Amino acid sequence: MTLTHKDAELLRLISTGDERAFTAFYQEHQANLYRFGLLMSGSRQIAEEVVQEAFLALIREPGRYDPARGSLSSYLYGTARNQVLRCLKRERVYVALAEETNGDATERQLISKNDLLTETARREAIRIVRQAVVALPVHYREVVVLCDFQEMTYAEAARVLNCPVGTVNSRLHRGHALMVQRLRANSKFTHASPDEDWTSLLRCFA
């Protein structure tokens, strides 16, 4: 995740309006940013907006990126993170809905609202985990998303979040604990054996 010569050259070309350069650059980074926005917000609409604004910022003000302060990927994630926080502040309903849900009955109600009951058991399990992520407070959620879902090292996440590595470690730990508490409400989760593969876990969900 360091700034390569390719990235530097692409940035230069983008600033001159080179569409092919931009397309190459966009294709390299857009999916990760989209998934980051999706996991952080639980909304495709917000994730779309996050990607758009992060790249627009780079197009309009490429000079704002300072290689001395970190990699281009970290810069993009940082911009995306700021955009997510703005969107979440604007549409607080998303988080409030997830955070207010407690207990199995409410969980089922939420799933029912999202019209997920017709999905397969695997998709249902995935949805539950995603809901647990979205229900986390933002400062835990962003660490969980970056480290667990984007597979960043603690150091990389610390650069994106502009905080010490130790903070990332403790927030990740706390985030996991909160998610486990939430998933514990779904008893099937806790009774699954760690040695079982994902298919057997799905059987537990069924």
Q: Give how far the C-alpha of residue 42 lies from the chain's centroid of Cα atoms, to the nearest Å.
A: 9
Interface with another protein, residue 75, by CB under 8 A: no
Task: Indicate the residue among 60 and 69 with the shorter CB distance to another protein.
Answer: 60
9 vs 14: CA distance, rounded Å: 9
φ/ψ of 101, rounded to 5, equals -75, 125
H or E element: which one contains 98? helix 93-100
Q: Does 97 bind another protein (CB under 8 A)?
A: no
CA distance 41 to 39: 6
Residues 6+ apart with CB under 8 A from 202: 121, 122, 125
Among 85, 116, 122, 165, binds another protein (CB under 8 A): 122
Binding mask 11-50 for another protein (x = CB under 8 A): ---x-xx-x--xx--x---xx-xxx--xx-------xx--
52 part of the interface to another protein, by CB under 8 A: yes
- Residues within window 169-198 making contact with another protein, judged by CB under 8 A: 172-173, 176, 179-180, 183-184, 189-190, 192-194, 198
- The reply on whether position 125 binds another protein by CB under 8 A is yes
Instruction: Dump the DSSP string for 112-165.
Output: HHTT-TTS-HHHHHHHHHHHHHHHS-HHHHHHHIIIIIS---HHHHHHHHTS-H
Tell me which residues touch another protein (CB under 8 A): 14, 16-17, 19, 22-23, 26, 30-31, 33-35, 38-39, 47-48, 51-52, 55-56, 59-60, 122-123, 125-126, 128-130, 133, 148-149, 151, 172-173, 176, 179-180, 183-184, 189-190, 192-194, 198, 201
